[in-house]
Amino acid sequence: MGKRVEDAFFKKVTAAKTDFPVGVEALYEAAQKKFEKNPFGYIYSGASGEETLRNNRRAFERWAIVPRFLTDVSEVDTSVTLFDKTYATPILFAPVGMQKLAHEEAELATSRAAAKFGIPFIQSTVSSYSIESIREATTDSPKWFQLYWSTVDEELPKSMVQRAERAGYEAIVLTIDTVRIGWRETDLRNQFSPLKGGLGKANYVEDPVFQRSLRDDSEEALIDALVQHVHHPTLGWEQIEKLQSWTDLPIVLKGILHPEDAKEAVARGIDGIVVSNHGGRQLDGVIASLDALPAVAEAVAGRIPVLFDSGVRSGVDVVKALALGADAVCVGRPYIYALGIDGERGVTTWVEHLLEEVTASIALAGANSVKQVRKLTLVENK
């Protein structure tokens, strides 16, 4: 007898019909039906004319995989090693704030779903549940903390980093592309601001440093302080040096698009970067994230991990991003749609589909590990 091959597709297609939407179009449509108009607008939309949002997807469609055959792909190793830790898949959940917009259980549900697969959950500074309560919900699973700097009081980011460290988080992801919020026309039309609604306050209200910045105990004072702390237009390398002095955790800069910024990060002892344009939500008209990836990966030349996000919607997309130089890939909106559609169960089903597609795609491309995926040939479609 030869090796028995597990074909997840064959099993699924012959099993009882799944009631969860299959594929990105169906996921989007189901989410649109389920969500209220304004939160949905906030989640799906991009900045200004949404040129970058569209280009993030177009960039994926421009690349084509040139597969190899007649190699043994009976076993596919999807694991990756980042900062000396090995994770079962090359996927991470991108930091998405205020997940109560999608579901009452918010990050408790998404972090639990991620935990089932050993997927690192990157918790946002503006999450709906605090660092401590998410830790409680998912004690042993890998979690990273995304930091928004505060220009108003630098003791606040320091305090948050220390809380994340105490809670056993494994890395700090400093977002550098949100010195202020992008020009979001859908939200302007809808007059919608989740911060104004008090969402995203959980990490702040539980922080003693934040408490001392409140002028009184009104809801208005709280929201005012929240908005003040989130913006950080003076963020620079000087502040990053302070961050490095506060923690021994790996520091990852999220939002790199220029190879020179990537080189600077390496030179300054940064541990990792995320090539990202924030899902087209910040400056519209910037380069598609996937178009920025090859040059950034070349500049980094394997010295630190290069992560990628913005526009990943399928297992094939994951393979393309890895082949173009990413060491691992973050997904944003799709897991939030799945959360809104069916809570923890929805996110779990969506991840199952994604991972099965990742494995099938790697094998069909003629690779049997992430290392081999990174050597695949990709060409630009004519």
The site for ligand FMN (CB under 6 A) is made up of: 43, 56, 94-97, 124, 126, 146, 175, 254, 276, 278-279, 309-312, 331-333
CB of 97: closest distance to ligand FMN in angstroms? 3
Judged by beta carbon, residue 134 or residue 319, the one nearer ligand 173 is 134
CB of 98: closest distance to ligand 173 in angstroms? 7
Judged by beta carbon, residue 56 or residue 130, the one nearer ligand FMN is 56
21 binds, options ligand 173, ligand FMN, none, Cβ within 5 to 8 A by partner type: none
90 binds, options ligand FMN, ligand 173, none, Cβ within 5 to 8 A by partner type: none
**Binding test (CB under 6 A) with ligand 173, winner from 24, 137, 179, 195:** 195
Structure tokens, 321: 């991003």
User: Is the sign of the CA dihedral 292, 295, 300, 306 positive or negative?
Assistant: positive
Structure tokens, 275: 């090539």
The alpha carbon of 137 is separated from its chain's Cα centroid by a whole number of angstroms, namely 20
User: Does position 53 bind ligand 173 by CB under 6 A?
Assistant: no
Q: Segment 173-192, which members bind ligand 173 (CB under 6 A)?
A: 178, 181
Region for residue 198 given its phi and psi (left: phi exceeds 0; alpha: psi -120 to 50; beta: otherwise): left
Q: Are the beta carbons of 278 and 178 closer than 8 angstroms? A: yes
Q: Are the beta carbons of 354 and 313 closer than 8 angstroms? A: no
Cβ neighbours around 58 below 10 Å, total: 13
Judged by beta carbon, residue 142 or residue 194, the one nearer ligand 173 is 194
Residue 121-160 contact track with ligand 173, rule CB under 6 A, x = bound? -----x----------------------------------
Q: Which residues are annotated as a binding site?
A: 42, 95-97, 124, 146, 148, 175, 184, 254, 276, 278, 281, 309-313, 332-333
Judged by beta carbon, residue 336 or residue 351, the one nearer ligand 173 is 336
Judged by beta carbon, residue 325 or residue 334, the one nearer ligand FMN is 334
User: Does position 222 bind ligand 173 by CB under 6 A?
Assistant: no
Q: Which residues are annotated as a binding site for FMN?
A: 95-97, 124, 146, 175, 254, 276, 309-313, 332-333
Q: Which residues are annotated as a binding site for glyoxylate?
A: 42, 148, 184, 278, 281
CB of 281: closest distance to ligand 173 in angstroms? 4
115 binds, options ligand FMN, ligand 173, none, Cβ within 5 to 8 A by partner type: none
**Binding test (CB under 6 A) with ligand 173, winner from 230, 240, 292, 351:** 230
Q: Are the beta carbons of 324 and 88 closer than 8 angstroms? A: no
- Which of helix, strand or coil describes residue 26? helix
Structure tokens, 304: 């630190």
> Which of 103, 229, 232, 278 is flagged as catalytic?
278
Name, in order, each residue with C-beta under 8 angstroms of 184's C-beta and a sequence gap of 6 or more. Answer: 42, 45, 46, 47, 281
Return the half-sphere exposure (C-beta side, CA atoms, 13 A cut-off) of residue 269. Answer: 10
Residue 220: is it exposed, middle or buried by C-beta count within 10 angstroms (0-12/13-18/19+)?
A: exposed
The one-character DSSP state at 3 is P
138 binds, options ligand FMN, ligand 173, none, Cβ within 5 to 8 A by partner type: none
Concerning whether 229 is annotated as a catalytic residue, the answer is no
CB of 364: closest distance to ligand FMN in angstroms? 23
User: Does position 97 bind ligand 173 by CB under 6 A?
Assistant: yes
Q: Where are the alpha helices (DSSP H) in 167-284?
A: 185-190, 202-205, 208-211, 219-230, 237-246, 259-267
Structure tokens, 249: 């955790």
Judged by beta carbon, residue 213 or residue 348, the one nearer ligand 173 is 213
Cα distance between residue 293 and residue 327, in whole Å: 11
Cα distance between residue 92 and residue 121, in whole Å: 6
230 binds, options ligand 173, ligand FMN, none, Cβ within 5 to 8 A by partner type: ligand 173
CA angle 309, 313, 319 (to 5 degrees): 75
Cα distance between residue 140 and residue 102, in whole Å: 25
- Interacting residues toward ligand 173 by CB under 6 A: 97, 126, 178, 181, 195, 200, 230, 278, 281
Catalytic sites, residue numbers: 278
